[in-house]
Chain A
C-alpha cells in the first residue's frame, strides 16, 4: 500500500512538472508563430491594390512612402523616382467628387471602369481600390505588393498600425521608449536601493531592520494599477509644475513609478547579499585598522557585488515588463523619445492598450504578438545576465 502511494506521488510530481513545462513551451511557441506571421502579411491591406497610370514607371513603394503619399507629405512623383508631376491620391470614398451616381449606375456596376478611366486620364494619380473592382483590360500599372520586411519593423521609426492603405509597424519608438523608461528608472532606483540596502544590512539596529524590511517588502504586494493611480494623481501633476511641461505624462513619470516599484527587489536582494558577506571578512578588515565605512565600501560591497548586481538586474527586469502603471502615466505617444520629459510608449503598454482593438489574425494583431516576442527576448536576456552574475559570484565565494 505504502509502495503504491509513493509511486502515485512520484508519478503525480513528474506529471505536473512535465505538464507545466509543456504549457510554458506551448505559450512561447504560440507567441512566436503568431508574431512571425507578421512577416507573411502584405504591406498593402488585403484585397486592395494601388493602381497607377500606365505611364507611371514607379513599381515599388515602401509602407512609409505609401503613408507619406496618402498623408500628402509627398506631393511630387519626383521624390519617388519619376518626374515632377504632382501626386493625386484617390480613395474609394472620394468617388463622389469625380462621378455622379448616374454615371456609376444604380448598383455601382460601372464604378470599376470609371475609376480605371479616371486613373488613365490623370498621369499623377494613385488609387487605393479593391482589386476586384478594376477590370482586367484597363491597362493600369500596379504597385508591387511585397511582404512586410523585418528591418522596417525592427528599425522603423513610426508605429501606425491602423493607417490605411499601408499600416506602419516600426517598433523602434516602442523599443526605445521601453529601454529609455527602464534606464531612467534604474538610474533613480539604484542609488536609493543601494543606500537603503547598506543602511539595513550594516547600520540599522535589529529593531529598525525588523520594522523596515517588512515595510519595504510590502511595496512588492501593492498592485501595479495602484502605483499607476498614485503616479497619475501625484507624480504627473508634480512633474508638470516642477518642469513647466505642457503635459505631465512623460517618460520621467513612468521612470519614477517604476523606480518605486523596483526598489523592494533591489533592496531585498542587495541586503541579503550584504548580510551574507562572511563575518570573517569584516573582522579581517576591521582588524587591519579599517573603519566601519571603509570596511563596508571596500570589503562588504565588493564581495557582495554579484548579489547586488542580481538585485539590480531583477529590478530592471521588473521595470521592462511592467505594464499597467507605465500605461497610466507615460502619455503613450509612440514617438522615439529624445528627452525623458516627453510622453513615450513602452512595449507592454502598447500590447495592453491595442490588443482589444486589433482584429484577431490581422497584421496589427500579429505585430502585437511580435512585440511580445521582443519583450520576451529582453527579459530572457536579463534573466541570463542574472544567472551569469550570480553563478560567477558562487564560483568566487566557494
Chain B
C-alpha cells in the first residue's frame, strides 16, 4: 500500500473539467513534484489531498483518493482530522498576525493541546526542524510580520510541521522568495522527507529536479507523464514532456 493512491480522479469547477482521469501512487517518504504550465491543474490536484477544494462552491469530484488506505472523501472522514495529518504550505508566506510563538502553537491549540510545556517543546522542535530556531529564538514574542519573506515561509513550514502531519503539501513554496531563501527551503525539503511524504507543486524545473524523487507532468488537466525525476528530466517518453522541460512551451 502506497502513502497516497489516487484513482481515476475527475474534478470539475461547475462545467469546467479541470482534472481528467488522473491515477497516481505516491510512495511513503518520497518527494513528488508536480510540474506543468499555469492552469494545467497541478495545484487543483494538490488541493484535493487535504480537501482544500471543499471551500469552492460548485466543485465536484469523481474517483477516489486514499491516504494510508483510507478514502479521504469517505462519509466518516473528519476534514479537520484529515488536514491535521496532511499539512500544507502555500505559495505566499501567510503567517497569522500573531507572535512567532503563537503562529507555531496555533495548530496545536486548535487541536486541543493545552499542556504549555509540551507546546513550548513542540514550538522549539518545529522551529529547529525548519532551521529557523537560531534566527528567532530571542524574539519568539515578536510579530511574525517582522520576519523577512523567506523567514516567514520557513515559519509557515514549521507551523505546518508542528502538528506532526505525515504528508506535507507545498504549493509553489518558493515562488515568492529570493534565491537564497529558495535554497534554504529546498534544503529543508530534503531534511523533512525523513519525516513526511512531500508533494510539491513548482514552476521551477531545476527545483523539481533538485528536490524530488518522482515528478509528474500535467498538461490541460491531464497527467501526461509520471515517473522517477531522473527519467522525466533525462529521458521522457512523451514528446509534450520533452518540449516542456526543454522550455519549448509553457
Contacts and interface: CB of A to CB of B under 8 A. Distances in A.
Interface of A: 278, 280-281, 283-291, 294, 298-299, 302-303, 396-397
A285 B52 contact: no
Nearest to B81: A289
B55 interface: yes
A302 B97 contact: yes
Interface in B60-91: 80-84, 87-88, 90
A283 B94 contact: yes
B163 interface: yes
B88 A287 contact: yes
Interface in B139-188: 143, 145, 156, 159-160, 163
8 pairs of A and B residues whose beta carbons are closest in the complex: A289-B84, A288-B107, A280-B94, A287-B88, A290-B110, A289-B83, A294-B110, A284-B94
Contact of B83 (A278, A281, A287, A303): A287
B171 to A, nearest CB: 10
25 contacts: A278-B94, A280-B90, A281-B96, A283-B52, A284-B95, A284-B156, A285-B106, A286-B83, A287-B52, A287-B90, A288-B83, A288-B87, A288-B106, A288-B111, A288-B160, A288-B163, A289-B80, A289-B83, A289-B110, A290-B106, A290-B107, A294-B110, A302-B98, A396-B97, A396-B143
B50 interface: yes
Given A280-B90, A299-B96, A396-B145, A286 B52 contact: yes
B97 A288 contact: no
B193 interface: no
Nearest to A291: B80
A290 B96 CA distance: 13
B163 A289 contact: yes
Contacts of A287: 50, 52, 83, 87-88, 90, 160
A278 B96 CA distance: 10
B88 A289 contact: no
Contacts of B90: 280, 283-284, 287
Contacts of A396: 97, 143, 145
Contacts of A397: 97
A299 B50 CA distance: 20
B94 A290 contact: no
B92 interface: yes
Contact of B110 (A281, A283, A298, A303): A298
Interface residues of B, number: 28
A145 to B, nearest CB: 61
B110 A285 contact: yes
A288 B156 contact: no
A283 B81 CA distance: 15
A101 B156 CA distance: 99
A217 B151 CA distance: 43
Given A280-B90, A283-B52, A288-B83, 4 more contacts: A278-B94, A285-B96, A287-B50, A289-B107
Given A290-B110, A396-B145, A284 B96 contact: yes
Nearest to B111: A289
Interface in B18-65: 50, 52, 55
Contacts of B83: 286-289
B78 to A, nearest CB: 9
Nearest to B91: A280
Give the most central of A278, A280, A397: most B CB within 10 Å. A280
A280 B93 CA distance: 9
B92 A280 contact: yes
Nearest to B93: A280
Contacts of B109: 298
A307 to B, nearest CB: 13
Contacts of B84: 288-289
Nearest to A395: B145
Given A280-B90, A396-B97, A290 B80 contact: yes
Contacts of B81: 289
A286 B88 CA distance: 10
Contacts of A285: 96, 106, 110
Contacts of A299: 96
A312 B81 CA distance: 36
A29 B104 CA distance: 55
A4 B83 CA distance: 65
A157 B184 CA distance: 70
A299 B98 CA distance: 9
Nearest to B84: A289
A288 B52 contact: no
A298 B106 CA distance: 9
Nearest to A280: B94
A279 to B, nearest CB: 9
Given A280-B92, A396-B145, A286 B55 contact: yes
Contacts of B145: 396
B50 A303 contact: no
A397 B97 CA distance: 8
A136 to B, nearest CB: 78
Nearest to B97: A303
A288 B94 contact: no
A397 B159 CA distance: 20
Contacts of A286: 52, 55, 80, 83
A31 B111 CA distance: 58
A188 to B, nearest CB: 30
Nearest to B80: A289
A360 to B, nearest CB: 55
A287 B79 CA distance: 10
